[in-house]
């Protein structure tokens, strides 16, 4: 798992569902994939175990949990481990109003003692690794002061791997979207934390949009890089060359092959009562920046929501992509 964490795709609400992760796994066999955040109360009190559904092909895959009650998080972590997830991650970075009202997410940066208690309880409950995703701080906190304390406490509680989003979160005054862009990035601080805590496996997150950027962070001493929006909107740019360039294995994959490999998955989803757009919405950026990308997006966007739409629509959309992009044969 630590090797897989050299490159990971960030947990993103409404985006990194199981259909998205299945596509991403076709593009990279090694990158670590994360679920959307699943709240511990939904699993433990609500019994929403369907939120844990995933395909075995997705491994290595991590479950991200939201919560702040140690006992409840321990129960949720146990459910995740029993479902087969390779890692359980605690969200200490999401700044939305909904998670603030539940006293979890980025607001937990203000309560490192509680976070440590949560980590310890989860570690006690499961055999798989328990990790944390956090910000460098929130609101008026001084990251130079609070981040070392935060890392020290969660490390002592048994967390050996952490992903740091290199921005503060402003819990008042900025929307979740603005919190992804407006607070300035402080990559240097994250690198300093790695030097200060060499025993921790530290991944960096925030604003990284290419494999070249990822390689620079890895080359400068960080253990991993987590990429979010770029991996979603331009998945081929980030993931197709990840195996040879980041993990040193295999060859680059081809998005055309991935489209063909998605067809049986799509057929199974439709036969179970699903709709095509539930899958194809994650495929819109597959040819981003390439000839025919606009036609591909339009065909899927307009056609996948129609009743009866199926794999034949995906193949027709692929015909919109320039011939030079469609030369790969299905392996």
Total Cβ atoms within 10 A of residue 177: 10
Active-site annotation holds for 94:
yes
Instruction: Kindly tell me the sign of the dihedral angle through the C-alpha atoms of 185, 187, 188, 189.
Output: positive
Please tell me which residue in 94, 118, 134, 240 is annotated as part of the active site. 94
Looking at residue 61, the DSSP 8-state letter turns out to be E
Residues 271 and 300: their CA atoms lie apart, in Å, by 19
Evaluate whether 59 touches 34 at the Cβ level (below 8 Å). Answer: no
Helix residue ranges, H only, 45-175: 70-83, 97-101, 112-125, 143-156
Q: Are 185 and 206 in contact (CB under 8 A)?
A: yes
**135: β partners:** 165
Q: Measuring CA to CA, which residue among 296, 211, 228 is closest to residue 256? A: 296
First to last CA, the chain: 27
Cα distance between residue 307 and residue 152, in whole Å: 54
Question: What does R_g of the chain's alpha carbons equal in angstroms?
Answer: 20
Helix (H) or strand (E) holding 205: strand 201-205
Helix locations, 159-246, DSSP H: 176-179, 187-196, 211-219, 229-233, 235-239, 242-246
Return the active site residues.
94
């Amino acid at each position: 798992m630590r090797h897989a964490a050299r490159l990971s795709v960030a947990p993103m609400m409404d985006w990194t569902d199981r259909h998205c992760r299945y596509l991403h796994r076709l593009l990279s066999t090694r990158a670590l994939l994360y679920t959307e955040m699943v709240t511990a109360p939904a699993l433990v009190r609500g019994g929403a175990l369907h939120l844990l559904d995933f395909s075995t092909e997705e491994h290595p895959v991590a479950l991200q949990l939201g919560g702040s009650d140690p006992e409840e998080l321990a129960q949720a972590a146990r459910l995740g481990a029993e479902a087969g997830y390779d890692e359980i991650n605690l969200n200490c970075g999401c700044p939305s109003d909904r998670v603030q009202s539940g006293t979890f997410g980025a607001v937990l940066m203000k309560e490192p003692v509680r976070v440590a208690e949560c980590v310890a309880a989860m570690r006690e409950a499961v055999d798989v690794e328990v990790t944390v995703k956090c910000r460098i701080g929130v609101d008026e906190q001084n990251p130079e002061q609070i981040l070392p304390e935060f890392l020290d406490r969660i490390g002592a509680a048994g967390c050996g791997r952490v992903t740091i989003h290199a921005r503060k979160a402003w819990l008042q005054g900025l929307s979740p979207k603005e919190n992804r862009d407006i607070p300035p990035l402080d990559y240097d601080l994250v690198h300093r934390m790695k030097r200060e805590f060499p025993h921790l496996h530290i991944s960096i997150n925030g604003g990284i949009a290419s494999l070249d950027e990822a390689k620079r962070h890895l080359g400068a001493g960080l253990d991993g890089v987590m990429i979010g929006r770029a991996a979603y909107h331009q998945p081929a740019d980030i993931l197709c060359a990840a195996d040879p360039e980041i993990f040193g294995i295999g060859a680059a994959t081809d998005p055309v092959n991935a489209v063909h490999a998605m067809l049986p998955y799509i057929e199974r989803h439709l036969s179970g009562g699903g709709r095509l757009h539930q899958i194809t919405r994650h495929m819109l950026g597959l040819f981003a920046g390439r000839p025919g990308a606009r036609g591909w997006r339009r065909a899927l966007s307009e056609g996948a929501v129609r009743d009866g739409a199926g794999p034949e629509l995906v193949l027709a959309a692929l015909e919109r992509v320039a011939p030079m992009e469609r030369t790969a044969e299905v392996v």
